[in-house]
Structure formats: structure tokens, C-alpha cells
């Protein structure tokens, strides 16, 4: 059976509820503070698991990261490949304003301490046909892509948070790209969604591209197909982790044998439910919750 390995970040999110994002030079009292599990890697493993996939998480935490590992275990994620000897667990400072929008500052900590030996040890348990999911919150992403491709693994890359190093990486070895418009523009220099996809397909002709468009929904492109899906109408409480929820549900669904169109629909519904709740990992719904939800499309 195909295994999913997610080699990704684990963070402790310090979530400040604010009226508005703090401005340069401004000191402002927050309306509330919560410490919550997060990290794009952890969130995507939780989403995969809650969508029904069998997932192995690899990464690194410090001594203060035990609760993150326990949370993954509670969701049925395999955690034997999480190294607990990191300096200090990754941390994010997140402001969530009264409209539910967020801005995020990340300190990598242990997420920036992956080693070649760790990558080799983890990948030795996976092979042809297994899926490797990556984001850009850990170090050595290009090396992971090269090594996994050499083992015949299928690679899915969420280009978040984007930086220059990704564009220089071995992207032609990636099968699934999951990115938003800003990341697409940064990678290709194009602004218009179809042009972003076309520029990426020129470089990586065999790729399957999932481009999320915020309130405009999502666009899927590959060499032969184009699908779009809108967003559902929900009260927006906190948008943190919406993209992670989408990524996990989309991949779990496609790997589970559903069509791209069905998978876009499921992932859109799951991420809509996630933004109607507070937090990142804590807000991710289960497959049953998504199936039971009666959501209306936003016109």
C-alpha cells in the first residue's frame, strides 16, 4: 500500500488576537493569547490523517516539543521519524485580527536542523510509489527532493513559505505543486493564475498544479486538464492553516483514488470549515465533519 511521508515543520504557535495588526513603532495590548499546535508540516499531517490517510511525519523538535508529537499520535500519525534532539522547538508568533486574517512570524529552531544522515535514515524506509510531502519550513528541502526522486518516490511540494532557494531547486522532480497566487508570482514572475500555471508547466511539463486563489477559490492545471472550484460561504474566524487543510485533504483524496474534481471540492469544503474555527491544527475538521457539513457556494 502507498505510504505518505510528510517531512515537515512542527511549531508552537503563539496566537495573539488583535483588533488590527501592530504597526511599525506601535505598542499595542493584545485582546488574547493562546499557545496552540502548528507548523505547516504538522498541520498538513493532521489534515491528511483526519482526511483518512495513513501518514508518517518526519521532522525535529526540542525537549519542549513533546505535546506536538502527542497531538500527532492522537490523530493516528506515525511519529517514529520525529527526532526529539533538536535545540528548541520551532515557534510562530501569529496575529489574528478582527476579520480573521493573520500575519505570521516564524523562528525555525529545530525545523532548521535536519541533517543528511537523518534524511537518508528516514527515506530508507520508503520507496517506489510512496508519496513524499514537503513544505519550505525545514532546511535541506532540495536534498530531500533529490534523494526521494532517486528512490522512485512521488513528490508533492507546498511552496510555502516561498523564498529564492526554492526556484533554484530540482522542481522538475516534483509531481504535485500546491501554492497560492503570491507564491506563484514569486516563482514565475507571472500574476494571472493561468499564466502562473503555464510558466510552471513549461518548466515542469509532467506536473499537476493546485493554485489556491483565496476568495476566488482554486485552479487546477496539468498538461491535459483544467478545473476550477469556488469557495464556500462561512463566517471567517481565523484563516491560519487554511492552505494546510486544503493540501492535506486534496492529497489524501487524490491518493485515495478520487478524481481531481472531487478532491478539489472536498479540500475546499475542509478548508472552509477550518477558517470558521480558531487555530491551525485545532481547526482542521475530520472527514466525517466535512461530509456532514451543508455548505453553500459563495456567489
CB-nearer residue toward ligand RIB: 2 or 107:
107
Shortest Å, Cβ 187 to ligand RIB: 18
Q: What is the DSSP string of 142-192?
A: HHHHHHHHHTT-EEEEE--S--HHHHTS-GGG-SEEEEEHHHHHHHHS--S
Going by C-beta distance under 8 Å and a sequence separation of 6 or more, which residues neighbour residue 113?
60, 86, 87, 139
Q: How far is the CB of 215 from ligand RIB (least distance, A)?
A: 18
Q: CB nearer to ligand RIB: give 111 or 118.
A: 111
Residue whose CB is less far from ligand RIB, 96 or 148:
96
Put the strands of the sheet holding 208-212 in their side by side order.
78-83, 55-60, 4-7, 131-134, 154-158, 176-180, 208-212, 218-221, 226-229
Residue nearest to ligand RIB (CB): 38
CB of 203 to ligand RIB, least distance (A): 25
Q: Site residues (CB under 6 A) for ligand RIB?
A: 9, 11, 13, 38-40, 43, 92, 104, 106, 137, 240-241, 244, 280
Q: Which is nearer to ligand RIB, 137 or 185 (CB)?
A: 137
Residue 100, helix vs strand vs coil? coil
* Closer by beta carbon to ligand RIB, 9 or else 118: 9
Separation CA 148–CA 126 (nearest Å)? 8
Cβ neighbours of 152 (radius 10 Å): 11
CB of 41 to ligand RIB, least distance (A): 8
Closest approach of ligand RIB to the CB of residue 108, in Å: 10
Amino acid at each position: 500500500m502507498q505510504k505518505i511521508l510528510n517531512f515537515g515543520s512542527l511549531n508552537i504557535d503563539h496566537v495573539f488576537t488583535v483588533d488590527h495588526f501592530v504597526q511599525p513603532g506601535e505598542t499595542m495590548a493584545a485582546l488574547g493569547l493562546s499557545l496552540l499546535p502548528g507548523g505547516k508540516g504538522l498541520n498538513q499531517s493532521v489534515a491528511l490523517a483526519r482526511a483518512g490517510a495513513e501518514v508518517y511525519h518526519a521532522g525535529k523538535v526540542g525537549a519542549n516539543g513533546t505535546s506536538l508529537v502527542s497531538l500527532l499520535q492522537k490523530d493516528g500519525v506515525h511519529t517514529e521519524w520525529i527526532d526529539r534532539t533538536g535545540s528548541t522547538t520551532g515557534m510562530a508568533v501569529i496575529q489574528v485580527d478582527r476579520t480573521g486574517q493573520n500575519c505570521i512570524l516564524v523562528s525555525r529552531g529545530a525545523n532548521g536542523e535536519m541533517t543528511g544522515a537523518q534524511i537518508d535514515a528516514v527515506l530508507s524506509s520508503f520507496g517506489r510509489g510512496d508519496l513524499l510531502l514537503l513544505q519550505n519550513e525545514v532546511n535541506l528541502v532540495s536534498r530531500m527532493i533529490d534523494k526521494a526522486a532517486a528512490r522512485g518516490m512521488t513528490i508533492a511540494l507546498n511552496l510555502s513559505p516561498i523564498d529564492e532557494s526554492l526556484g533554484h531547486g530540482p522542481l522538475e522532480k516534483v509531481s504535485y505543486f500546491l501554492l497560492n497566487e503570491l507564491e506563484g508570482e514569486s516563482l514565475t514572475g507571472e500574476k494571472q493564475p493561468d499564466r502562473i500555471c503555464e510558466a510552471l508547466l513549461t518548466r515542469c511539463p509532467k506536473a499537476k498544479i493546485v493554485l489556491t486563489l483565496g476568495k476566488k477559490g482554486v485552479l487546477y492545471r496539468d498538461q491535459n486538464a483544467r478545473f476550477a472550484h469556488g469557495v464556500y460561504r462561512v463566517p471567517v474566524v481565523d484563516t491560519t492553516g487554511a492552505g494546510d487543510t486544503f493540501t492535506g485533504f486534496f492529497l489524501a483524496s487524490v491518493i485515495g483514488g478520487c478524481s481531481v474534481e472531487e478532491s478539489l471540492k472536498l479540500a475546499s469544503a475542509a478548508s472552509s470549515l477550518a477558517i470558521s474555527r480558531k487555530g491551525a491544527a485545532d481547526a482542521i475538521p475530520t472527514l466525517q465533519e466535512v461530509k456532514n457539513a451543508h455548505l453553500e457556494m459563495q456567489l
